[in-house]
Amino acid sequence: MKLELRGVTKRFGSFTANDRISLTVEPGEIHALLGENGAGKSTLMNTIYGLYAPDDGEIRLDDEPVSFNGPGDAVAAGIGMVHQHFMLIPVFTVTESVALGYEPTRAGGIMDMKQAREKVLEISGRFGFDVDPDARIEDLPVGAQQRVEIIKALSRDARVLILDEPTAVLTPQETDELISIMGQLRDSGTSIVFITHKLREVRAVADRITVIRRGAVVGETTPESTETELAGLMVGREVNLTTAKEPGVPGEVGFAVQGLTVLSPMDKVVVDNVDLEVRRGEILVIAGVDGNGQSELAQAILGIREPVAGRILLDDQDLAPLSVKQRLAAGLGFVPEDRSTDGVIGAFTVTENYVLDTYDTAPYAGGPGNVALRLPVMRKAAQTQAERFDVRMGSVDDPISTLSGGNQQKVVLAREMSRDLRLFVASQPTRGLDVGSIEFVHRTVIEERDKGTPCVIVSTELDEALNLADRIAVMYRGRIVGIVPATTSRDVLGLMMAGVPLEEAKQQAATHHTTLSEADEMAEAEENK
């Protein structure tokens, strides 16, 4: 089926999320929609899928204009969508999940689950999905859950399949499996719209690539374009995709956790007897698929989650008895995972956000009990750090909500790194940032390392881990699978992210060469020409 967009525009109040977007997806083609987080990719796909109505423009299927009043209309027209966050019910079986909303019936209106089960087996067998129709969703790994979502779409006879950031929660090996599946679907005649911000994956799988920036199409190209060229289209200027850094010179151990165990509010073990050491002048990246305990580990270090066992040591000082404020005063710099919720207060000015955790200390406060705020001093410090961190804004007196996500993150970094730090911890520090802002954040973290500060970075992005780390600790289901040097191959790291022990991962990786590894070699060869 041919999908065509002609001048599609979607507004939310005064904000234009999609600005006159035109593109064509041919039958049996993988068309990648490439752009940074916030570029408008998902909004556009939700418009195609009937979740939003376009304000202007036209959607066409096989050269006929269509309009949808909801996803049901889009599904009936042959459009399927696999959302970034899966729409599955954990306690349902695969068959029940696939049938939900479109339940097959037999005479008398009785639900025919046998027919639904046969449909799952037929599609699974056709594409080699290897999915058990009787398995519960909650018992399946993430990659298998994604295959269930694809089966669900295909069971509705989808001829155009939209995949919205489908690799965000996959290991590298699961990503390779998905790329293989996409190739099979394309060969069977299915048109695929592949939404992503990951350059390597686009070049490995796409037939054509449309790049959007700030809601508008800025170019259409092919996988022959280099990653550097694609990145330039995404952000509108030349960027370095790797951050140059000299090898670290680690000193003594400056930070350690010993036997750390953390429970969820439902008393489930989410951090399981973790031991870590980070030396002064070293960056340790904690890698893994999202949801394997990394966030809870970072929160325990800050003090917003209380461990049930173990010790957290900063220069041999036990942080356990200290409050969050006391830990910050002791030299902990912390960048939270969700800056909009935990990192800044949107209604506060840039200046107020800059002093959020130091407003009651010298030089920003004085007098008895430090109750007299020195506003000019605060403002001058905020201005100085904004210039140092290249924060693009009107004024330090503007609400921080008026800044872009990348500039808000720079304010958070400026606040945390303007103090004398004994430990720096950042959770997903570049999530939602364009490649230019990512380049800046990485350079800033490396500068902090080079001051001799132990740095702990939690990241689900394998590219970031390899680019930034001196060592990488891989977490799986709350445990450390292994700690390896940053020169470790993607194949080994991917297997570890799936829970395979280090030595076994090395053996398995030695006998396999993944799709994306081949894409990396091709990209490197082209860049060296």
Which one, of 221, 153, 220, 152, lies nearest residue 191 by Cα? 153
Quick: pLDDT tens for 144-174: 888 898 898 888 888 999 998 887 767 777 7
**CB-based contact 69:50 (threshold 8 Å):** yes
Q: Which CATH architecture has domain 241-331+423-488?
A: 3-Layer(aba) Sandwich (3.40)
Quick: pLDDT tens for 264-289: 888 999 999 999 999 999 999 999 98
> What average pLDDT does the segment 317-324 reach?
92
- Asked if the model's pLDDT at residue 494 lies above 80, the reply is yes
Which one, of 215, 264, 181, 194, lies nearest residue 39 by Cα? 215
Domain ranges of the chain: 3-235, 241-331+423-488, 341-419
* Backbone dihedral angles phi then psi of residue 67, each to the nearest 5 degrees: -140, 140
Strands 317-318, 269-279: parallel, antiparallel or unpaired by DSSP?
Answer: unpaired
- Asked if the model's pLDDT at residue 463 lies above 80, the reply is yes
> What average pLDDT does the segment 116-133 reach?
87
- Asked if the model's pLDDT at residue 517 lies above 70, the reply is no
Q: Where are the beta strands (DSSP E) in 297-377?
A: 309-314, 317-318, 332-335, 365-366, 372-373
> What average pLDDT does the segment 111-138 reach?
88
Quick: pLDDT tens for 222-265: 988 888 888 888 878 777 767 777 888 899 999 999 999 999 88
The mean predicted confidence, pLDDT, of the chain is 87
- Looking at residue 520, what is its pLDDT? 53
- Looking at residue 476, what is its pLDDT? 92
- Looking at residue 348, what is its pLDDT? 95
* Backbone dihedral angles phi then psi of residue 314, each to the nearest 5 degrees: -115, 110
The reply to whether 3-235 and 241-331+423-488 are identical in fold is yes
pLDDT band (50, 70, 90) for residue 522: very low
Q: What angle do CA 378, 356, 312 make, to 5 degrees?
A: 130
Helix (H, G, I), strand (E, B) or coil at 411: helix
Quick: pLDDT tens for 1-50: 999 999 999 998 888 989 999 999 999 999 999 887 667 888 899 999 99
Helix (H, G, I), strand (E, B) or coil at 438: helix
Which one, of 290, 96, 284, lies nearest residue 174 by Cα? 290
Q: Please name the fold of domain 3-235.
A: Rossmann fold (3.40.50)
Query: For residues 418 and 426, what is the distance between their CA atoms, to the nearest angstrom?
Result: 15
pLDDT band (50, 70, 90) for residue 528: low
Q: What is the DSSP string of 181-211?
A: HHHHHHHTT-EEEEEES-HHHHHHH-SEEEE
Helix (H, G, I), strand (E, B) or coil at 320: coil
pLDDT band (50, 70, 90) for residue 141: confident
**CB-based contact 421:453 (threshold 8 Å):** yes
- Looking at residue 515, what is its pLDDT? 52
pLDDT band (50, 70, 90) for residue 481: very high
Quick: pLDDT tens for 43-86: 899 999 999 999 999 999 999 999 999 999 999 999 998 887 77
Tell me which DSSP letter residue 513 carries. Answer: -
